Amino acid sequence: MASSKRVIQISGIKTITQKRKVVEGILMLGGKYIGGPGYQQDITHLIVSGFSQSEKFLAACAAGKWVVTQEYVFDSVESGSWLPEEPYEVAMSLSTQAAHNPVRQWRERVADGSLPGAFHGWKVLLVIADPLRRAIFKRLLKAGKAEVYLPPPPPHVAITHVMAKPLPEDLQGQIAPCYPVTHLIQHLFRGHFVGLCSTFEAKEEQPTEAEPAVIDFYELEKELKVYIIKREEQPRLVFPEFLSYHDPYSLNSKTVEADFSNVGTMIESGLFLEALDSIRDTLFPGLLPPAVFLVSLLEHALQGNASAVYLRNLQQVLHSLLLNNPSWLFPNTVKKYFTVILQCPQCKRGLWPFIETIISYCMSSEAACHPLPGPASPSLLCLHGDLLALVLKFFQGELHSITAGDSGLLKGEGVSQLPASGSLLYETFWTVWERSTLLSRTVKQLVKLLVQVLLWEKEVEDETEREARQELRMGEILLDMLSTMVEFWCQQHLKLNQNLVEKGLKDLAEHVAFSASSQDVPPAVLMELVARIPSSRLRLVTADAVFRNLCCRNGLTVGEEPLSLKKMVSSYLPALERLVEGPRWADNRGPCPTTEPVSHSWTSPKKYSGSSSSINETSPGKEYVPKGLNRVNAAGETCLHRACKRNQVETVRKILALPGTDVNVKDHAGWTPLHEACNHGSTACVEALLDHRPAPHLEDDVNGISPLKDALLNGHMDIAKMLLAHAGSALLRHMESTGSIHLELPLTPAERAELLLSARTGDAALLQQTPEPWRYLPLLETGSSLLTQLLVSYLGETGLLGCTQPGHTLTEALGRHSLRTVTGGWTDWRAVRLAEDAGTLAGLRSGGARLDRLSPLIRECEGENTRFLMEILRQLESQGCFPGLQLYHDVS
């Protein structure tokens, strides 16, 4: 019993606050609480305030369950785990000895197996007219393992007891001995507390009207897990147009036969247009012209000598073939038929080289499988773009096949759904050894081509040529192709390995961000790249990766912790604010640090003063790299932390000059090098840190202690004034928002005046350094667009707004309990993250975003993207929702 999970009911505790405290304790310790007025057979413990006549108390005694007082829960909570039950087992009275306690005696007999229950062997005929009372006594008897029957009794059953209230005269001694219901308490307690028998009334407990429903946190976790899985498995891309594609097996018509011998003769004679017209007349479902003829016709078209009419007719033939013979509804032979056609007629190297050749030809690039005719006519360019769109249709059809197959939409006699392992998508983008990774060699090539095409579509200044490029829709087609490929791969691995899918998406998104960065993609193209991604899950991870890359390129460090709503509000919004200063740092930024240690909030804020490795100077002529630069001590302190504590300013400057140095690195307690310098009075080190670009975070605090407050608490006024002169009065306001400066800091009026003067000096310096709007607007607009896409996609993917509406169990739980209490025993990290997001959203609704504290450059920006982002945040603050997101709330 001690090792099993405790399933608990409560009886006799009438005070609402006391009962709520008991329930919270049960859930905090990992137990399961069952509410309701009636006794439940599955319980292991009953919590009572004392001896009572309730149904639950009597039934628990008859069943041999643990019946303990409420102090058992309170003491267990205090100790942090369940305690032994014996000291808390209820007794008849304070003077009752353990050996004469009937409650314990019944439990011990059931526990050692000598008796299944107190009423074992009884065959009871229950004669009670009131159905409610009859149900109560039936549960009580069954708890004690009695067999209960209602009149008339079965003829083959030998009734041993007749229980009646009132006791009817006509049943006296006719079937079996008749007993009043008080006989149950006499049997259970055997003369103890006999005075109860005269007033015994087993009653069903009624819940207090004002008591709110008790929330089972474990059931809430299960509910959220189902909600999350349901959202993850719903398709992101839906193609209803493929439902109209012909299934020849469902047409109930005889297969059409055609003679193609004349077609071959016409091709040999150079009558390509006539041969094409002959094939057009035979395009019926289930009928495929010989692939060799179509290869010859396509080769003639790609040579550049065909007429516009011929090219247009060829496009119609290829699309009609796919419409009448969708490869995903046919055996593997049909797929092979199309793969023979969709490749370069000269090189015949497969589909992917053909895609690369099409893109290269449209961009007038030299990277092609063989010399191409030029200059290309508009109709020939249109054919290439149409061939690329046709390939996309094949890919989308295969994704549709898997999605419809999972939902049971693909039905019909003779339909042979193509297995995913033999699909055209797999053969194009992954080798056999690459299928467990999303970022294959071909996928990388697709990303590279996508970025090149987007740049190519925007790079010309001539409006006519730009419109011609846009008409090819190559960027849109490649984005659709990438999204289709991603959704196909995710759908194949999602149910088997969730972690694999998340890692694959993250790797791909970071590769997209790196490709865009390495090719110097301008902000307008960067915003368009993210906004035009059809797949919401791909758009989410790509917006995150591109935003972090943008921050990195402008000297900002963003943590690597998993994406959450809290991270967007507490980390990404301040990063967006600092992007305004990005152009000023462009001449002094180094390589971006890739990680940022996460502080552990449970670590004591007391600074560690243990030993640290020594810092040695290197010999002249060698690059200076401090010994143990990347090594941390037991407190998580880096070489930079230790140098700041010792005021070794030259060492600090040399460390900061090294590429990749993170000036905001945190130790295990969350302290940064600036904290250490301010705490130990290292004035020169503080000055060096403030001169570094990117500048350290002055508002980072640990348990309410910011660097400024650290300096003031330790009496370092010179450092405090230096910080205020650097950051202005906003730093004072930040410190006051985290704690009372007047109550906690022993400052004299003269010292306060000095601090205010330094803050005004900082405000004036910042005002002079404020960049002109035309300088920061493009960068701010890009960051706002990315953050908007990130926020909208995240709310849609997680379904957060759908499970945080008033009346939802999660909302009720977080409204009455702390987040730690609700999620303390949860094991599913996705449910925990959803609950954390709900808590963050509740903070937004109560003004937690503090939009009024954002820089006026953001709040008053006239840029369309920034204004839209601010509107979303204001809606979330005021209403907890955004009207434009309603589409994402419903889970099909």
What is residue 403's predicted lDDT score, i.e. its pLDDT? 81
Model confidence pLDDT, tens digit, residues 490-529: 988 888 888 898 999 999 999 999 888 888 888 888 888 9
Instruction: Pick the range with the lowest mean pLDDT from 2-6, 390-394, 533-537, 630-634.
Output: 2-6
Question: Does 361 have pLDDT greater than 70?
Answer: yes
Q: Calculate Rg over the CA atoms of the chain.
A: 38
Domain 7-111 architecture: 3-Layer(aba) Sandwich (3.40)
What was the pLDDT predicted at 97?
53
Residue 259 pLDDT: 74
- What pLDDT, in 10s, does the model give residues 221-245? 888 999 888 888 888 888 878 777 7
Return the minimum-mean-pLDDT range out of 8-17, 84-93, 850-859: 850-859
Domain boundaries, the chain: 7-111, 123-199, 237-419, 430-534, 565-587+772-889, 639-766
Q: How confident is the model at residue 848 (pLDDT cuts 50, 70, 90)?
A: very low
Look up residue 180 and give its amino acid. Answer: P
What is the per-residue pLDDT for 543? 94
Say if residue 887's pLDDT is above 70. Answer: no
Beta bridge partners of 744: none
Categorize the per-residue pLDDT at 616 as very low, low, confident or very high, splitting at 50, 70 and 90.
very low
* Residue spans of beta strands (DSSP E) within 51-122: 66-69
pLDDT reported for residue 843: 75
pLDDT of residue 655: 87
Work out the mean pLDDT of the chain and round it to a whole number. Answer: 78
Range with lowest mean pLDDT among 103-112, 453-462, 535-544: 453-462
Asked if residue 323 has pLDDT above 80, the reply is: yes
User: Which of 657, 656, 654, 632 is closest to 642 using CA atoms?
Assistant: 632
Q: Provide the 3-class DSSP secondary structure of residue 846.
A: coil
The predicted structure's pLDDT at residue 790: 93
> What's the number of CA atoms in the CB half-sphere (13 Å) around residue 122?
29
- Span of 157-171, 373-387, 409-423, 615-629 with lowest mean pLDDT: 615-629
Specify the CATH number for 639-766; select among 1.10.238.10, 3.30.1600.10, 3.40.50.150, 1.25.40.20: 1.25.40.20
Q: Average of pLDDT values for 604-624?
A: 38
- Amino acid 486: pLDDT: 93
The two structure tokens encoding residue 313: 């007719």
The pLDDT of residue 180 is 80
The pLDDT, as a whole number, for residue 441 is 93
Two tokens, residue 193: 């507390």
pLDDT for 190 equals: 65
| Model pTM score | 0.63
pLDDT for 195: 44
Q: What's the pLDDT score for residue 442?
A: 93
- State the pLDDT confidence band at 605, using cuts at 50, 70 and 90: very low
Q: What is the pLDDT of residue 175?
A: 67
Average pLDDT over residues 366-375: 68
**Per-residue pLDDT at 884 exceeds 50:** no
Listed in sequence order, the residues at least 6 apart from 788 whose beta carbon sits closer than 8 Å to its beta carbon are: 865, 868, 869, 872
Q: 741-796: per-residue pLDDT in tens?
A: 433 566 788 888 888 888 888 877 766 665 555 567 788 888 899 999 999 999 98
Question: Which DSSP string do the residues of 498-511 spell out, in sequence order?
Answer: HHHHHHHHHHHHHH
What is the SS3 assignment for 152? coil
Mean pLDDT of 461-475: 77
Average pLDDT rounded to a whole number, residues 249-272: 71
pLDDT above 70 for 414:
no
For range 598-625, the mean pLDDT: 37
Three-state SS string over 633-677 comes to CCCCCCHHHHHHHCCCHHHHHHHHHCCCCCCCCCCCCCCCHHHHH
Give the residue with greater pLDDT, 208 vs 603: 208
- Residue 602: per-residue pLDDT: 30
pLDDT at 760: 85
Banded model confidence at residue 64, pLDDT cuts 50, 70, 90: very high
pLDDT higher for 825 or 449?
449
